[in-house]
């Protein structure tokens, strides 16, 4: 059971099941890990968008995490939607309470449909508190631009923003290129020792809801299982690409991935 990989996920709930805690649990399970959660918010959403967000009090989030850590433990953290500066501070305290446990930080700022999931004043808190605590930081292009103040419109821009985030204290950065135009999709893994690119033909599909949550959780379970960072990212990247290709086609908007494809292949 040592290789099962316990991941404590600190993130919001998605009633549609495509992103957030639901996507995280599915991903960790599909890749052979064990998922536990500290839920930061309950959202009302489906494939057409988010219509309401109901935050959980930060002290309740910390209590959830403490209950898990005191009993089950964790081999890795994954953070997603935090929403407010107070919640960012709570998440930082949770990470600090388990020194040495790797943390994959996904700076969720906006839902696929455009709804804001991180208040403006919380962006500075993410920059100051979460970037330096990240074993792996996983921003998309708009998130990287907001956090660094740099324009991020090309793969070279992704690299420059990633280098800025490394300089800000991140242990490693996975710069996601889904918002960069082109027929090829390229993500960049930047570490202090070098760069690894992950590229493939873009899958043109509206069923891409939760890809960021899924990728970050797939990386986190790899680290929890003791897999080398680059190998964990490579496995996660391939898993997400296949999950997009096998998307079930649910909903009239941005539909979910097929998180469970590994169980049926």
Spatial separation of the C-alpha atoms in residues 116 and 57, rounded to whole Å:
19
Pick the catalytic residue: 176, 177, 214, 222?
176
Q: Which of 236, 174, 249 is nearest to 209 (CA)?
A: 249
Is 262 tagged catalytic?
no
232 three-class SS: helix
Pick the catalytic residue: 80, 210, 222, 255?
210
Residue 64: per-residue pLDDT: 98
Residue 147: per-residue pLDDT: 94
Pairing relationship of beta strands 76-79 and 136-137 according to DSSP bridges: unpaired
Pick the catalytic residue: 212, 214, 219, 255?
212
Residue 243: per-residue pLDDT: 97
The predicted model scores a pTM of 0.96
Spatial separation of the C-alpha atoms in residues 213 and 195, rounded to whole Å:
22
Q: What is the DSSP letter of 129?
A: I
Torsion, CA 153, CA 78, CA 264, CA 208, rounded to 10? -30
Torsion, CA 84, CA 85, CA 89, CA 90, rounded to 10? -20
Q: What is the DSSP letter of 67?
A: H
pLDDT tens, the chain, 265 aa long: 447 899 999 999 999 999 999 999 999 999 999 999 999 999 999 999 999 999 999 999 999 999 999 999 999 999 999 999 999 999 999 999 999 999 999 998 877 666 778 888 889 999 999 999 999 999 999 999 999 999 999 999 999 999 999 999 999 999 999 888 888 899 999 999 999 999 999 999 999 999 999 999 999 999 999 999 999 999 999 999 999 999 999 999 999 999 999 998 6
Pick the catalytic residue: 16, 211, 222, 255?
211
Written as six digits, the tokens of 235 are: 């496995």
Torsion, CA 9, CA 14, CA 17, CA 22, rounded to 10? 10
Per DSSP, the residues of 98-130 read TTT--EEE----B-TTS-B-S-HHHHHHIIIII
Residue extents of the structural domains in the chain: 6-263
Is 113 tagged catalytic?
no
Is 186 tagged catalytic?
no
Pick the catalytic residue: 135, 208, 219, 255?
208
Written as six digits, the tokens of 55 are: 């935050």
Pick the catalytic residue: 83, 155, 213, 255?
213
Is 213 tagged catalytic?
yes
Residue 5: per-residue pLDDT: 97
CA distances from 15 to 54, 58, 111 (A): 12, 20, 13
Written as six digits, the tokens of 212 are: 């960021």
Write out the CATH class of domain 6-263.
alpha beta
């Amino acid at each position: 059971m040592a290789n099962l990989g316990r991941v404590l996920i600190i993130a919001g709930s998605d009633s549609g099941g495509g992103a957030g805690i639901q996507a995280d649990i599915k991903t960790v399970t599909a890749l052979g890990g064990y998922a536990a959660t500290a839920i930061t918010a309950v959202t009302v959403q489906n494939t057409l968008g988010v219509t309401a967000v109901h935050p959980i009090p930060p002290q309740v989030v910390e209590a959830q995490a403490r209950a898990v850590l005191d009993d089950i433990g964790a081999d890795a953290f994954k953070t997603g939607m935090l929403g407010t500066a107070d919640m960012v501070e709570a998440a930082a305290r949770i990470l600090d309470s388990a020194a040495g446990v790797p943390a994959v930080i996904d700076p969720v700022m906006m839902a696929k449909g455009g709804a804001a999931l991180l208040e403006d004043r919380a962006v500075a808190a993410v920059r100051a508190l979460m970037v330096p605590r990240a074993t792996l930081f996983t921003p998309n292009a708009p998130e990287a631009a907001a956090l660094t103040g740099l324009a991020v419109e090309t793969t070279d821009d992704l690299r420059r923003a990633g280098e800025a985030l490394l300089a800000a204290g991140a242990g490693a950065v996975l710069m996601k290129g889904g918002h960069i135009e082109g027929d090829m999709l390229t993500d960049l893994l930047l570490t202090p020792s070098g760069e690894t690119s992950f590229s493939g033909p873009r899958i043109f599909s509206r069923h891409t809801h939760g890809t960021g949550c899924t990728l970050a959780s797939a990386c986190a379970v790899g680290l929890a299982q003791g897999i080398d960072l680059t190998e964990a990212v490579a496995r996660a990247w391939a898993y997400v690409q296949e999950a997009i290709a096998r998307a079930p086609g649910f909903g009239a908007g941005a539909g979910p991935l097929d998180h469970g494809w590994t169980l049926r292949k």
